Chains A and B, each alone.
Chain A
Amino acid sequence: MAPSSSKAASPPPAARRGAGAPAAGVALVALAAATLPLVTRDSYYLDVATTILMNLTLTMSFRLQVSTGQINMAHISFMGIGAYASALLVTRVGLSFWATLWIGALVAAALAVPIGSVALRVSGPYYFLITFAFSEVVRLVFNNFLEGWFGGPSGLVGIPKPDRLLGLAFEGKLELYGLMAVLCVGVALAFVRLEYSRFGLTASAIRQADLLAETLGVDVFRYKLTTFVLGSFVAGLAGVFFAHFRQVLHSSDFGLEPMVLLVVFTVIGGTGSVWGPVVGTVLMTIAGELLRELHHYEILVFGAVLILTMLWAPEGLVALPATVRRLLRMRRSKDARAMGVGLAP
């Protein structure tokens, strides 16, 4: 039951396409990820690329939640839950990374059910604030409580890298990069298919007008909770990888600063498209790394870049070509403007 195209707000571009093309987009990203190691084996570039891929899984899952109208500020907390869960299971219980990868994500998803159910009792800015409050509570717990488990303000150190799988070792930067690439592409594929499926259309309808969607028979709460839990599962997955990639965990890795960066990547990229987070994460991470050269001025310039980008590309960078075209069209047809054509698509 796709929203009818005769309504004032046209349906999301998704509805007009078929299902095969998005997979091609994922294939392109997979190809890009695969070619990087052929171009460079530099440890620093691999490190940045691995971080980008990891952030991609986080921003894509965050964006899934945003597509149902949820700005979930606790997203990073579920990354932390997965991370600490895996770190503890591997170092204390002796489980293999390949098991804790899924267990950690499941723990995150399991905790997402009660937290999400509570958070979803409110919406809009209140939802934003309640998830922020939850994320601070989780961070404070990691930082100060159960020190025997979480390491207190000093954090956890000495987390081992992933153990061997089918004879393949994961000690080097290249192997870890490869692992994250596989995870990321898998997640991207899942999300792209979801976006263009019935689930995705319904989610988009909810974001645009949830009361209306409800009258059309959509169980809004169930959809929102599903995206919350699903997103948290993926965040947990990223968290497990993070723990064994960096080998050091600290509560600050799961606090407001990294969460805010995820929001920045997603919004700057554009929340309207499943590719928004990809563009945003890649471009802003690279910009951030380039800005390191400015030492003292890094944060100042980064802030200015944020302001300017948001003002010039309010719908996100991924929508920039479309916005520019519309502006040009408006310029060319003054009559159309006189008739009342505006910036709406």
Chain B
Amino acid sequence: MSIDLLVQALLNGFGLAMVYVLVALGLTLIFSILEIINFAHGEFYMLGGYVTYYVYALFGLNYFATLGLAIVTVGLAGVVAERLIFHDLRGKALNAFIVSLGLLWVMQAGAQLAFGVLDKPVPSAFSGIVRMLGLVISLERLVVTVCAIVLIVGLYLFLRLSRPGRAMRAVAQDADVAALQGVNIEAVSALGFGVGCALAGGAGGLLAPLFAVSPAMGALPVVKAFIIIIVGGMGSLPGAVLGGLLLGGVEGLGTLFMGSAAVNILGFLMVIVVLLVRPRGLVGGA
């Protein structure tokens, strides 16, 4: 087993980790602000993919403009979902679980009926391979990773510096205290849910050209997102980034040495170990 192979494997694992981190961040944002786990999160990712398919692949709009459109559209869809369905469920985890499950089925079945059941290809916005030091890096994946990092940094700045962002952090820390300080909890919840879904939609738009779109495409990213936020720590942005890199690395290297089922088990074992040793996650604190 050459060093080249190991490094390539590691690179493979990291390659798309940042996009899964985006999905994870959306999930953890919703969890921090509304104290519920949105099982339909993957369906918003799927929605972003289909917006990209229709607007970029079929209609022909510029890729980055489409990405922006996907982010905004899915974000709005998230706000609508929150206002219609989730806003009364703050803190009621079990009820939210059932409701988000219902939403998952509605969205997935709806997508199948509306968009058809076959995989739909989305042309690559960037093609080409970069070869250096004996490693293969696809240009497309490089661009996608950079875009994901831009969005993650954008989120970080938004949460740190903007008023709505700081309001979201206040609510995430302690909703009652935030309310006493005059924060409009309802507005923050809606915005938080919207931003969380927007992140998932953006991830869907980023991965659409790489992976094509299909109604059930949201299932796998959401499982990865869960593993990432548990390992990194719920509610922690740097934790999610670390969790993403860790999961990517483990999967990339693991595939070299064992079968796919064993690699999957490895991911879940990582979850179990982290939950036992440091339940708050490697970085999680708040």
Is there a contact between chains A and B in the complex with CB atoms less than 8 Å apart?
A: yes
Closest residue of A by beta carbon distance from B105: A303
Q: How far is the CA of A122 from the CA of B102 in the complex (A)?
A: 28
Which of B95, B103, B276 makes the CB contact (< 8 A) with A314? B95
From A144, A271, A307, residue with most partner B Cβ within 10 Å: A307
* List of B residues within 8 angstroms of A137 by Cβ: 265, 268-269, 272
- Known pairs A306-B101, A311-B88; A299 contacts B94 (CB<8 A): no
Q: How far is the CA of A299 from the CA of B102 in the complex (A)?
A: 9
Q: Is the beta-carbon distance between A129 and B275 smaller than 8 angstroms?
A: yes
B162 contacts chain A at the CB level, 8 A cutoff:
no
Q: How far is the CA of A202 from the CA of B89 in the complex (A)?
A: 27
Q: Which of A96-104, A210-218, A261-269 contacts B (4 or more CB under 8 A)?
A: A261-269
Which of B103, B108, B113 makes the CB contact (< 8 A) with A307? B103
A260 contacts chain B at the CB level, 8 A cutoff:
yes
Measured between C-beta atoms, what is the minimum distance from A86 to chain B in Å? 24
Q: Is the beta-carbon distance between A143 and B261 smaller than 8 angstroms?
A: yes
Q: How far is the CA of A304 from the CA of B104 in the complex (A)?
A: 10
Q: Is the beta-carbon distance between A306 and B37 smaller than 8 angstroms?
A: no
Q: How far is the CA of A296 from the CA of B113 in the complex (A)?
A: 8
Measured between C-beta atoms, what is the minimum distance from A83 to chain B in Å? 20
Q: Is the beta-carbon distance between B105 and A302 smaller than 8 angstroms?
A: yes
* List of A residues within 8 angstroms of B101 by Cβ: 260, 264, 303, 306
A305 contacts chain B at the CB level, 8 A cutoff:
yes
Closest residue of B by beta carbon distance from A124: B93
Q: For chain B, give the interface size range.
A: 35 or more
Q: How far is the CA of A264 from the CA of B269 in the complex (A)?
A: 27
- Mask for A254-280, Cβ within 8 A of B = 1, else 0? 000000100110011001000000000
Measured between C-beta atoms, what is the minimum distance from B111 to chain A in Å? 10
Q: Is the beta-carbon distance between B106 and A129 smaller than 8 angstroms?
A: no
Measured between C-beta atoms, what is the minimum distance from A70 to chain B in Å? 12
Q: Is the beta-carbon distance between B106 and A300 smaller than 8 angstroms?
A: yes
Tally inter-chain residue pairs, CB-CB below 8 A: 104
* List of A residues within 8 angstroms of B269 by Cβ: 133, 137
Q: Is the beta-carbon distance between A305 and B102 smaller than 8 angstroms?
A: yes
* List of A residues within 8 angstroms of B123 by Cβ: none
* List of B residues within 8 angstroms of A143 by Cβ: 261
Q: Is the beta-carbon distance between B109 and A133 smaller than 8 angstroms?
A: no
Q: How far is the CA of A132 from the CA of B102 in the complex (A)?
A: 19
What does DSSP make chain A's interface, helix, strand, loop or mixed?
helix
Closest residue of A by beta carbon distance from B40: A303
Closest residue of B by beta carbon distance from A298: B109
B92 contacts chain A at the CB level, 8 A cutoff:
yes
Closest residue of A by beta carbon distance from B276: A121
A125 contacts chain B at the CB level, 8 A cutoff:
yes
Q: Is the beta-carbon distance between A297 and B109 smaller than 8 angstroms?
A: yes
A136 contacts chain B at the CB level, 8 A cutoff:
yes
Q: Is the beta-carbon distance between B103 and A303 smaller than 8 angstroms?
A: yes
A221 contacts chain B at the CB level, 8 A cutoff:
no
Closest residue of A by beta carbon distance from B281: A126
B57 contacts chain A at the CB level, 8 A cutoff:
no
Measured between C-beta atoms, what is the minimum distance from A289 to chain B in Å? 16
* List of A residues within 8 angstroms of B134 by Cβ: none
A108 contacts chain B at the CB level, 8 A cutoff:
no
* List of B residues within 8 angstroms of A263 by Cβ: 94, 97-98
* List of A residues within 8 angstroms of B173 by Cβ: none
Q: How far is the CA of A133 from the CA of B279 in the complex (A)?
A: 14
- Mask for B110-122, Cβ within 8 A of A = 1, else 0? 1001000000000
Q: Is the beta-carbon distance between A140 and B264 smaller than 8 angstroms?
A: yes
Which of B110, B226, B276 makes the CB contact (< 8 A) with A122? B276
Which of A140, A267, A304 makes the CB contact (< 8 A) with B265? A140
Jot down 8 A-B pairs with beta carbons below 8 A, ordered by A.
Answer: A118-B272, A122-B276, A136-B265, A137-B269, A299-B108, A306-B101, A310-B95, A310-B98
Sample of 12 more A-B contacts, CB < 8 Å, known A130-B275, A137-B268 = A129-B275, A132-B226, A133-B268, A133-B272, A134-B268, A263-B98, A267-B98, A300-B106, A303-B102, A303-B109, A304-B102, A307-B102
- Considering the complex of A and B, which 3 residue pairs feature the smallest CB-CB distances, nearest first? A303-B105, A306-B102, A300-B109
